[in-house]
Structure 1
Amino acid sequence: MLSFLGYSSMDHFVSDVIPSNILVRRPLSIEPIAGFSECELTARLRSIANKNTILRSYIGAGYYGTIVPPVIQRNILECPEWYTSYTPYQPEISQGRLESLLNFQTMVTDLTGMSIANASLLDEATAAAEAMLLSFNSARGKKKTFYVDPSLHPQTIACIRSRASPFNINIVYDLPDIDEDLFGGVAQYPATNGSLIDYSVLSNRIHSAGGLFSMASDLLALCILKPPSEFGADIVFGSAQRFGVPMGYGGPHAAFFAASDKLKRKIPGRLVGISKDRLGNNAFRLALQTREQHIRREKATSNICTAQALLANMAAMYAIYHGPTGLQNIANRVHSLTSILASVLIKLGFPVINPTWFDTLTVSVADSREVVAHAVAKFGINLRQIDRHHVSISIDETVSKQDLLDLASIFATLPALQLGISATHPAIVPSVFSRSGNILEYEVFTSHHTETEMLRYVHHLQSKDLSLANSMIPLGSCTMKLNATTQMIPISWPEFSSLHPFAPRDQARGYMELIGELETDLADITGFAATSLQPNSGAQGEYAGLRVIRAYFEAKGESHRNICLIPVSAHGTNPASAAMAGMKVVAVKCTAQGELDLTDLKQKANRYSSELAAMMVTYPSTFGIFEPKVREAIDIVHASGGQVYMDGANMNAQIGLTSPGDLGADVCHLNLHKTFCIPHGGGGPGVGPICVRQHLVPYLPSHPIIPAVDSAYAIEPVAAAPWGSASILAISWAYIKLMGAQGITRSTEYALLNANYMANRLREHYPILYTDGGRRCAHEFIVDLRDLHDSAGIEAIDVAKRLQDYGFHAPTMSWPVSGTLMVEPTESESLSELDRFCDAMIAIKAEIDEIVDGKQPRVNNLLKNAPHSMKDLLQSDDEAWKSRPYTRQRAAYPLEYLNGHKFWPSVTRVDDTYGDLNLFCTCEPISLQDE
């Protein structure tokens, strides 16, 4: 490859790609320098895992023990066809996970009683913040007061406060006597102390003020409890964690978010809908894609750009496997065991302060610290300490009779039979809270209750989806690496998966060791002083970084600094995150070569010098080049008193060669699901930590229950758990430790080499945008298709769909430049795979040339009809096929390699317009299917 590009060595090549004032080659301190072998790594991980103490946790507060059905653990969580696929932006090759996410949406709408639900959010606490902001924006920002009921979990209240601050929203905990300024309120059902509360009066009060009423809830409870819709809720959110997703020390877990019909075009996040394909068959797609807020940039009302798709799919499959009867049996058992324990505690003289409950009891005790310590020391049980005189106990589906005996024995030493624990009769939910009618009356939830049926359904769906198990996914800026199996294995180990996020830190010594090493390594890689792993998505990392900057200025008495300079080439989430952080976005121009316009930057930095808070810059740039003047740009911002935030989406081009810290930036976020190998999971999970210079360290986010940092200046949390999606941090830790300082630098060099090799092969057939003076790109490059519109009537989407016939997912389409494809091969792919993709692109160009030369029509051609499903080829009789100016063979097998490696799109091209005009986002109920 080096020879093909005209180089004799990697060093010579790298020095040509990276400008001399950017190339640092600072030796990294990662240990071991040469990396572990896979066996050594597994042994080290075992020693770390063994330092975690897994007790029986009945802490609750949004996190519960659950039993992951092995058929789901093995065939979804641990299956590369599910965990390596990308966000379903290309629906024809994503029908399996889209169907599964539609099942998730259906499950949520049915159990909550709402009209529509999205395909998951990040966690319950940040979903609460989204509910608040949706309510705020529904009032058009004219009202500033939001009521937070004391029934909410503490971490949820903290995240609401965190997100309210930049908008100067007034959070109140008692309803005001005069509520003209009230735009909404939120309560929890069941409450954090376990109570079941009739919120009808509260709902009416908030509605009478013209506000929206939101409710946090629990899906298992809703299997037998009256749904929030019957209390007048406009928005319902919560966590789907206890539907078969391990606690994992805090995540990742799928949050759910449902709303009334009037809010369906305003709810944040992704929404799966049903449309039609070219043949008129039903086909799934992401509906209302322009709802993805980053497209609105600084006018966004949310910066959500991702989901927890893998975990949402697990939760949906859990509901499918158990079915409505099974779910209600689990819920009734949990409620019955809780009721038995309540009767025992009351007999023993320990008052239960909540008169109603589903799974949680709050108990009055003389000294809660003594009770909690006794439970740990004598029984290996974690309880939740509420205050000096109260503890809570949350029952889950894992609780056995012996567990119940031990829980009772914490409070007394009486024989268990005397306490009535042997009772087996089911408890009855009070009628005012009892659910009426059936749940989940859809075919998918009543059909797959044996392992054989479940396995076949899961496999049926995965066979419709293209993933890294099929071919490379060359998405620019998304860094779709192969995920080594060794890196994935520990997430299923109980020592990592079964720990409650609010367990005492001395029970999480293994996690603390792993987290500490990962924070240190990421700080070293980025050239900064410290790391926070709390943000659980890239956009959350952006938001956290900007909030840290704002907190820094507030501490200096410069809270008036609120201008954020953002290049027009920036990721769309950058201006959206700045808006969420309460900043005013000012755009900075780019030159015709895609570089920052330093003249424009200097003018705007001078103009706003007294108000300048930050500049957000992506490096290498979004156009895939190393801008040689980035240091000058950073100096300009610093000279005007601002801070520099560097978007780490393209960190895959920097490691060991340069870094944000070496370049002079102040803070960066990283996408662990990009550069550091956490798989994308069909649209999530992700992790978006931030790294900062020393002067910003005191402002990193903390947590109200388990402080993540020790600083009086720490910002409030940006995620529900102290270390965000903690269980998948082991993947990135393992990636770094397997590579070592030498290997991880080498991986960056390969990423640069692969991109330049491909760009050079394709340059003879397509224009390549924004390469530097030496015709070199960074780790990604942009293929320019814009001229094809006039010459052949071909758009970027036509090339993207035709690539599916060749067995490939398209590169990033029409971003950052409309009418282009942005290609990023990563370091993971072999030369033969790079060539296979290039061969496909070159063959497609030949097909386009036939249109240009008049050999193929501009409308009815291989690209306009792409992709071609098996049904398309088989159902069209010979007469019908004669209308097409190409053969079936050419449609499906345009290159020789496809004869033995064909991946079939399961539908033809999906009609986006039809799907948005006819919005349908749940499964059809059985009654409609029968018709």
Structure 2
Amino acid sequence: MKRIRREHKVRAFHQAKWDEPVIFELHQAGERGVLPPEAEAGIAAAVGDGISAIPEGMRRTISPKLPEIGQAKVLRHYLRLSQETLGSDFNVEIGQGTCTMKYIPRVNEMLIRTDKVADLHPLQDESTVQGMLEIYHRMDLAMREISGLDAFSFQPSSGTQALFAMASIVRAYHEANGEGEQRDEIITTIFSHPSQAATAAVKGYKIITLYPDENGFPDIEKLKAVVSERTAGFVVANPEDTGIFNPRIKEFTDIVREAGGICYYDQANANGLLGIARAKEAGFDMCFFNLHKTFAAPHMCGGPATGALGVTEELKPFLPGPYVEKEGDRYTFRWDHDRSIGKVRSFHGVAQTVLRSYAWIRSLGAEGLEQVAKIAVLNNNYLYHKITKIRGASAPYVSGSRLEQVRYSWEQMTKETGVTTEDVQRRMCDFGLHYWTSHHPYIVKQPFTLEPTESYSKDDLDEYIAALEQISYEAYHTPGVVKVAPHASTVHRIDESSFDEPDKWCTSWRVYLRKTGQENE
């Protein structure tokens, strides 16, 4: 094995391992973390026992089986789990591929933890939350400027939910025009996110998928061949997950719109476009941004995320409601659009995430946002030119430069050594680095997808490159080291045999107890 030296930047890393049980297994009957005081007599007289006011049909007959654990044990449990994982606060997180893991300014985290935000309740009267409604409105105005569109809703709690909302708007729009049954096809591309096709399919649409031409661009001739009076809409990401930007995108949207379809834009990863290109000029009727990606709010295991959904004036009546508007010197929720698709989640969206992103935008300003895009593209192209020089690695399709990410390939290395991208993924754990392969199906063979964003320095990028160089060297000289990896991680090789067997899935502790016959113990 090649000797690892500090000047080569590859870290000697070993993951902490605690063999930590599930928190329910730490339960000890009678153990307590907090003992709340009894209600004072005056309070009890005013509100009663706190239960009688609840309708009988809504009351529990059996107390929830929550774990009873002391405070110290809870603290140790979660701290140990935090040491057994990787994340953007621990490592150079450029290997999350299409998920744009960037630095989250801690000052914004402090902001959303003040009692002025943390104690808000979504059922408060409008008059008591004017400050937060103003933030929603100001964020709406900022997103209009960034996209060129005319109105935004922050109700969707993820990019996928925003895609679902846009597919719902497409259906509602065509139904309002008497073409709901006729227009039953949505066109997308193979390198766009799988949620684009999935959400349209959930709305009942037939999905038509465009494959790339020899340069990796969606094939415009195939688009012309499938567009018809049955076309309801066209949904695409640009750049797609390969990092290739389609410079002819306006031709695509013109073709679809001339046929009567609606064009909607997946901008979950807009890191390379801020201040440079907008949805409006590309001919889109709708778009969404993931605030928890491009706009520096945390993913937090899928939530609390926000898919900011923007539309043209023509589609504004169909937005999920309510959304915030300014009336005179006050801010109010608008509920009165009878053509709205209705709510796509409870309440009004994640206020804390909207505030984080608003603070990030205000701190950078227009010039700062453009600088974010330029640095992200610069970082990505530095990575691109270094990785394509590593033995066995390549970046299929058009060459020269990419936008904010790249889908690379180890196909040559796999053919020459037998080491696969999944082997590399496991070996990267030994260096304390995350690495993502691709959405399925693997159109790019033996793929891996990297996105450095603007958050990482040249030293950070060099560390990641050095780890890939190390693994390539091992693959060609001592492939067994890679094929049995990881060697220094908490989890070695995951048993994936049950992934396609729903009868073996346990989505909660209660389900686990039921499926293992322990439910009544």
Report the 3-state secondary structure (helix = DSSP H, G, I; strand = E; otherwise coil) of the residue aligned with 2:123. coil
Structure 1 position 539 matched with structure 2 position 160 = yes
Q: Which amino acid aligns with 1:470?
A: F
Residue number in structure 2 paired with 1:651? 270
Does structure 2 conserve the Cα–Cα contact (< 8 Å) formed by 1:666 and 1:692? yes
Q: 1: CA distance between counterparts of 2:53 and 2:16?
A: 40
Tell me, in whole angstroms, the C-alpha distance in 2 between the residues paired with 1:359 and 1:700: 40
**Post-superposition shift, 1:719?**
0.8
Seen in structure 2, the aligned counterparts of structure 1 residues 342 and 922 have a Cα distance that, compared at 3 Å, is: closer
Matching residue of 1:660: 279
Does 1:830 pair with 2:457?
Answer: yes
Quote the residue 1:209 is aligned against: none
Aligned equivalents of 1:484, 1:832: Cα separation in 2: 20
The aligned residue for residue 866 of structure 1 is 485
Partner Cα distance (1:509, 1:323) in 2: 46
Summarize the Cα distance change of 1:433–1:811 in structure 2 as closer, same or farther, 3 Å threshold: closer
Q: Distance in 1 between matches of 2:299 and 2:500?
A: 26
| 1:435 aligns to 2:67 (yes or no) | no
Q: Which of the residues 328, 342, 363 maps onto 1:716?
A: 342
Q: Do structure 1's residue 576 and structure 2's residue 201 form an aligned pair?
A: no
Shift of 1:707: 4.5
User: Separation in 2 of the partners of 1:914 and 1:697?
Assistant: 44
- 1:638 to 1:862, Cα distance in 2 relative to 1, 3 A: same
- Residue 75 of structure 2 corresponds to which residue in structure 1? 455
Contact 2:292-2:353 at 8 Å conserved across structures: no
The structure 1 residue matched to 2:401, chosen from 776, 795, 801, is 776
| 1:624/1:777 contact within 8 Å kept | yes
CA contact (8 A) 1:649 1:674 kept: yes
Which whole-Å CA distance do the structure 2 matches of 1:328 and 1:501 have between them?
Answer: 27
User: RMSD of aligned C-alpha atoms?
Assistant: 3.5
Deviations 1:263-292 (A, max 9, x none): xxxxxxxxxxxxxxxxxxxxxxxxxxxxxx
Q: Is the 8 A contact 2:322 2:343 kept in 1?
A: yes
> Following TM superposition, by how much is the alpha carbon of 1:327 offset from its aligned partner in structure 2, in angstroms?
9.6
Preserved CA contact (<8 Å) 1:536 1:724: yes
Partner secondary structure for residue 257 of structure 2 = helix
The equivalent of 2:415 in structure 1 is 790
Matched residues in 2 for 1:94 and 1:670: separation?
Answer: 36
**Where does 1:267-278 land on structure 2 (aligned, <5 Å)?**
none
User: Within the alignment, does 1:591 sit opposite 2:217 as a pair?
Assistant: no
Check 1:563–1:360 CA distance in 2 against 1; reply closer, same or farther (3 A cut). farther
Match of 1:358 among 47, 51, 69: 51
1:62 maps to which residue? none
**Contact 1:752 1:779 (8 Å CA) reproduced:** yes
Identity of aligned residues (%): 27
> What residue identity is the alignment partner of 1:840?
A
Q: Paired residue for 2:386? A: 761
Q: Do the aligned residues in 1 keep the contact of 2:296 with 2:356 (CA within 8 Å)? A: yes
Contact 2:15 2:83 survives alignment (8 Å): no
Distance 1:621 1:907, change over 3 A: closer
Name the structure 2 match of 1:529.
Answer: 150
Question: Pairwise mapping of residues 125-274 of structure 1 onto structure 2 (< 5 A)?
Answer: none
Cα deviation, residue 752, structure 1: 0.5
Alignment of 1:573-722 (within 5 A): 573-605=195-227, 609-703=228-322, 707-721=333-347
Q: For 1:473-552, what aligned pairs fall within 5 Å after superposition? A: 473-474=93-94, 475-552=96-173
Stretch deviating more after TM superposition (609-618 or 708-717) = 708-717
Deviation per residue, 1:530-566 (Å, 9 max, x gap): 1000101111100111212222222222222231111
Instruction: Specify the SS of the correspondent of 2:229.
Output: coil
Deviation of 1:742 after TM superposition, in Å, equals 0.4
Distance apart, 1:713 and its partner CA: 1.9
Normalized against structure 1, the TM-score is what?
A: 0.48
Q: Specify the alignment match of 1:807 in structure 2.
A: 432
Alignment of 1:846-885 (within 5 A): 846-850=473-477, 856=478, 861-869=480-488
1:817-866, Cα deviation, whole Å (9 max, x unpaired): 3421011000000110001101111111111111xxxxx3x5xx111111
Per-residue CA deviations over 1:766-794 (Å, capped at 9, x if unaligned) read 44324535x10111112211233332111
Unaligned runs of 5+ in 1: 1-91, 108-319, 345-356, 363-428, 851-855, 870-904
Matched, 1:553 2:179: no
Kept in 2, the 8 Å contact 1:531–1:692? The answer is: yes
How many Å separate the matches in 1 of 2:350 and 2:267? 18
Q: Is the 8 A contact 1:700 1:709 kept in 2?
A: no
Match of 1:454, as an amino acid? V
CA contact (8 A) 2:216 2:398 kept: no
1:676 and 1:433 mapped to 2: Cα distance?
42
Is the 1:467–1:473 contact (alpha carbons within 8 Å) kept by the matching residues of 2? yes
Query: Structure 1 709/818 Cα, relative in aligned 2: closer, same or farther at 3 Å?
Result: farther
The 1:99/1:719 distance shift into structure 2, 3 A limit, reads: farther
* TM-score of the superposed pair, with normalisation by structure 2: 0.84
The one-character-per-residue Cα deviations of 1:580-636 (angstroms, maximum 9, x if unpaired) are 22322122222132211111100100xxx2221100110112211111211111111
CA–CA distance in structure 1, aligned partners of residues 237 and 125 of structure 2: 38
Amino acid at match of 1:528: L
Mapped partners of 2:249, 2:307: distance in 1: 23
Measured in 1, the distance between the counterparts of 2:145 and 2:28 equals 47
- In the alignment, the residues of structure 2 paired with residue 456 and residue 343 of structure 1 have an alpha-carbon distance, to the nearest angstrom, of 38
- Check 1:731–1:788 CA distance in 2 against 1; reply closer, same or farther (3 A cut): same
- Larger-gyration structure (1/2): 1
Question: Which residue number in structure 2 is paired with residue 467 of structure 1?
Answer: 87
Quick one: structure 1 residues 489 and 776, their matched pair in 2 at CA, closer, same or farther if it must change by over 3 Å?
A: same
Q: How many Å apart are 1:907 and its aligned residue?
A: 2.8
When residues 520 and 95 of structure 1 are mapped into structure 2, their CA distance, relative to the original with a 3 A threshold, is farther
Query: In structure 2, what residue type is equivalent to 1:911?
Result: D
Contact 1:324/1:439 (<8 A) preserved: no
Structure-1 separation of matches of 2:45 and 2:128: 29
Q: Which structure 2 residue ranges, 5 or more long, are not aligned?
A: 1-13, 324-331
SS of 1:913's partner is coil
Return the offset for 1:714. 1.6
Distance in 1, Cα, partners of 2:153 & 2:236: 20
Maintained 8 Å contact 1:95/1:465: no
SS of the residue corresponding to residue 233 of structure 2 reads strand
Counterpart residue type for residue 714 of structure 1: S
CA distance in 2: counterparts of 1:621 and 1:94, whole angstroms = 36
Distance (whole Å) between structure 1 residues aligned to residue 286 and residue 432 of structure 2: 39
Q: 2:497 aligns with which of 913, 916, 921?
A: 913
What's the CA shift string for 1:651-670, capped at 9, x where partnerless? 11111110111211110111
Give the secondary structure class of the aligned counterpart of 2:485.
coil
Mapped contact 1:323–1:449 kept (Cα < 8 A)? no
Superposed displacement of residue 329, structure 1: 7.7
